[in-house]
Structure 1
Amino acid sequence: MTTTTHQSQLETCIQNCLDCLRDCEYCASAGLSSDMVQMMVQCIKLCQDCADTCTLCARFMSRNSALHTQMCSVCAEACNRCAAECEKHNSEHCKRCAQSCRRCADSCRQMATSMAA
């Protein structure tokens, strides 16, 4: 992989992590504010886990940490779990969060596999 291609992929992945972080935080906050907060507990927890993982992943990639490929794998898993839960709910914020999580998971998975090769 060329340095330019890697840099572009890295920047895209960082942006996807930041977008996912924002959408997860919004989704968790909306879940906490809803009348059905008890029904949203798992969604809220997974959104919080995903947001924290995305934050850490973006930071590792930004500083080109030697651990960023492993962090990308963990982030992809957190995003997949969050997306699967959000897809169970009908609210707009859950739909947006699930889409953002799927995009981030794909990007992180590509990052992890391209660097491991």
Structure 2
Amino acid sequence: MKHQEVIEILHECMVACNYCYDACLQEDHTHHIAECIRLDRECADMCNYLESAIARNSPFIQELAAVCVKICEACGEECKQHDMDHCQQCADACFQCANACRQLV
């Protein structure tokens, strides 16, 4: 399948964001990580959508990939500010995904 590696990286990022989202909701004081939670959702949804768009050979892959880069970078920047392992792992996945999506733009 075309872009198989990017599809796998998108999927890994979606999983990392969903895990971070859920783990953040388990924290005692979620108000200081509210933006992290919000961006985890945005990023997971965008990665999932782009993964589907690539699989169906959407004519909008380049545009969607550009948006995905922006969202992944925003999520990664937010997550890296938090010390929890799930946030650090999510940040790494987001930055890797942003780099992979740049190949599609």
TM-score band, normalised by shorter chain: over 0.9
Return the offset for 1:111: 1.4
Distance 1:36 1:27 in 2: 15
Q: Identify, as 1 or 2, the structure richer in helix.
A: 1
Equivalent in 6, 10, 13 of residue 17 of structure 1 = 10
Structure 1 stretches of 4+ moved >2 Å: none
Q: Which residue of 1 is the match for residue 84 of structure 2?
A: 91
Return the offset for 1:69: 1.1
* Aligned pairs for 1:1-117 within 5 A: 7=2, 10-112=3-105
Amino acid at match of 2:55: S
Return the offset for 1:36: 1.8
Return the offset for 1:108: 0.4
What do the CA deviations read for 1:47-74 (whole angstroms, capped 9, x no partner)? 0000000010000001111001111111
Distance 2:34 2:25 in 1: 8
The alignment's C-alpha RMSD in Å is 1.0
- Local SS of the residue matching 1:111: coil
Relative to the length of structure 1, the TM-score reads 0.87
Distance 1:77 1:59 in 2: 18
What do the CA deviations read for 1:78-99 (whole angstroms, capped 9, x no partner)? 0000000001000100010000
* Unmatched 5+ stretches in structure 1: 113-117
Relative to the length of structure 2, the TM-score reads 0.97
